[in-house]
A and B are shown apart, each in its own frame.
Chain A
């Protein structure tokens, strides 16, 4: 199987590998998630009802409020966090939250990352290099 590498901006957090959970929707932890059940809870979200726990979560842009900056660390402490957050466009809140939680995050790729990677593909995330490696 051929390996594909996608280059984004230098991110934050430690390297991680996992299975991709992908949608072209946007993301806010407060607006979109049921943190106790570990699933997407916003009815209009493409991933509604799906578990994000342990997944390489790949979405379009950070949306909504500031709560995610705190939430990612608590989600990680409770064992109910995604393994990494991969976005076309993060905002400051996502980056602050990932930095606080030491969760891997990369954004600003040279392609639309939500169409480049398919649901369920194995992905290696290297924030210091700003790369995603598939396969």
Chain B
């Protein structure tokens, strides 16, 4: 099938607006062809994931190549912001991050700035930068930000990984397929929860339980039985875990999310038989990430980056206490929230207790394998279901607990304190 292009799009595809926009159009059309897109849709903002562990040097070289063209050919066409980077230039030495990674990260940072990207370095842009509105077409490049924008805010995006988000920024467009279309946003699987999650790690666990059952990117889970609306941070952890375990860009939560006032609004015809999730499922999930012994090396609060409210909770839990000398406690947040936390005294409360607050990064996006080896970290405790899922492949023994239990363990120097 041939995609319909406007006159301007045809000009970009023909190279009349320079090689970078020609490359971008080719990228959009290749992807659009695989997913049967009939045309392109204009987008209002771009969120680009481009930590250097993911880009490698090859990816950075490519972005630098775009920057070799004159601005009329290489600058972004819509507001474009960035996901967490691979290094906090103000704090990387505290976690013994090798200099070779910092050098590449500085090159990437400069290359994206040259194209007009705003270096927000955050995965919680929907909480802290410019929250989308219902029906807005986007090119979001982090699974957690995409699922939140689609589900909680009713905006429309596919997962746009770095190269396609870059192509979207250079053209102001994405192929119109998937979650830009009404037809893809209908529910496909129904879950009824018989247990009410309590706190961020429970919400993340619930997302993980459902995510494990997702068969493909196109499956849209519908969740019933939530008796009171979760907070922004709770549904953030739910969505991030669901997207991480399942590669899922959209969920509907009956009575909570905007496209799901009731079952009839999300299913065509009778709703399918529900799968039920109860206490035992939640307990089993924690058991799957339970410790084999009480050894503890590092406690991490990240994935997603912490909101101001989460930083405040962490600061209060650490008040008057001291992180054990054998343990490193790390919290990651966005530069904006770090600045706010500095101003409000939260950073000094966390760091006064022996913790480390990093900005513009997320733990798994800053060469987690190498920093683990450099610091001797193996047993990791977190309240993020997403993080404990990802880091299993990085040589860590990962364990899940709620924020208070994580802090207790960090202070005691062992899990199960």
Binding site for B on A (CB under 8 A): 9-12, 28, 30-34, 41-45, 61-71, 73-78, 88-93, 95-97, 99-100, 105
Q: Select which of B34, B160, B246 is within 8 A of A10 by beta carbon.
A: B34
Beta-carbon contact of B62 and A12 below 8 Å: no
6 contacts between A and B (CB under 8 A): A66-B141, A66-B143, A67-B51, A70-B50, A96-B163, A100-B27
Residues of A within 8 A of B162 (CB): 66, 69-70
In B4-56, which residues have CB < 8 Å from any A CB?
A: 27, 30-31, 33-35, 49-51, 53-56
Binding site for A on B (CB under 8 A): 27, 30-31, 33-35, 49-51, 53-59, 62, 141-143, 158-164, 178, 215-218, 243-247, 364, 369, 389-390, 392-395
Q: Which residue of B lies closest to A27 (CB)?
A: B247
A10-B34, A42-B392, A92-B31 known; A70+B54 contact, CB < 8 A? yes
Q: Which residue of A lies closest to B386 (CB)?
A: A65
Residues of B within 8 A of A93 (CB): 159, 161, 247
Residues of A within 8 A of B158 (CB): 92
Smallest CB–CB gap between A35 and chain B, Å? 8
Is chain A's interface secondary structure helix, strand, loop, or mixed overall?
mixed
**Which 5 residue pairs across A and B have the least CB separation, nearest first?**
A69-B161, A74-B56, A91-B217, A89-B216, A67-B54
Q: Select which of A42, A77, A78, A96 is within 8 A of B164 by beta carbon.
A: A96
Residues of A within 8 A of B54 (CB): 30, 66-67, 69-71
Residue among B178, B369, B389, B390 with the most chain A CB within 10 A?
Answer: B390
Q: Which residue of A lies closest to B240 (CB)?
A: A65
Beta-carbon contact of B62 and A73 below 8 Å: yes
Smallest CB–CB gap between B110 and chain A, Å? 17
Residues of B within 8 A of A97 (CB): 161, 163
Q: Which residue of A lies closest to B391 (CB)?
A: A31
CA distance A77 to B218 in the complex (A): 31
Q: Select which of B217, B369, B389, B393 is within 8 A of A92 by beta carbon.
A: B217
Residues of B within 8 A of A70 (CB): 49-50, 54-56, 59, 161-163
CA distance A76 to B62 in the complex (A): 14
Residues of A within 8 A of B217 (CB): 61-62, 89-92
CA distance A9 to B34 in the complex (A): 7
CA distance A91 to B143 in the complex (A): 12
Residues of B within 8 A of A45 (CB): 393
CA distance A62 to B217 in the complex (A): 8
Q: Which residue of A lies closest to B166 (CB)?
A: A100
CA distance A89 to B214 in the complex (A): 12
Residues of A within 8 A of B50 (CB): 70
Q: 11 new A-B pairs (CB below 8 Å) besides A33-B393, A65-B243?
A: A31-B389, A41-B395, A65-B143, A73-B58, A74-B58, A78-B56, A90-B217, A92-B217, A96-B160, A99-B164, A105-B34
Q: Select which of B27, B161, B216 is within 8 A of A66 by beta carbon.
A: B161
Residue among A32, A41, A64, A96 with the most chain B CB within 10 A?
Answer: A96
A43-B392, A74-B55, A77-B56 known; A66+B34 contact, CB < 8 A? no
Q: Which residue of A lies closest to B365 (CB)?
A: A67
Q: Select which of A12, A42, A68 is within 8 A of B34 by beta carbon.
A: A12
Smallest CB–CB gap between A15 and chain B, Å? 15
Beta-carbon contact of B161 and A68 below 8 Å: yes
Smallest CB–CB gap between B351 and chain A, Å? 29
Residues of B within 8 A of A66 (CB): 49, 54, 141-143, 159-162
Beta-carbon contact of B159 and A44 below 8 Å: no
Residues of B within 8 A of A91 (CB): 159, 216-217, 247
Beta-carbon contact of A73 and B34 below 8 Å: no
Q: Which residue of A lies closest to B144 (CB)?
A: A65
Q: Which residue of B lies closest to A28 (CB)?
A: B247
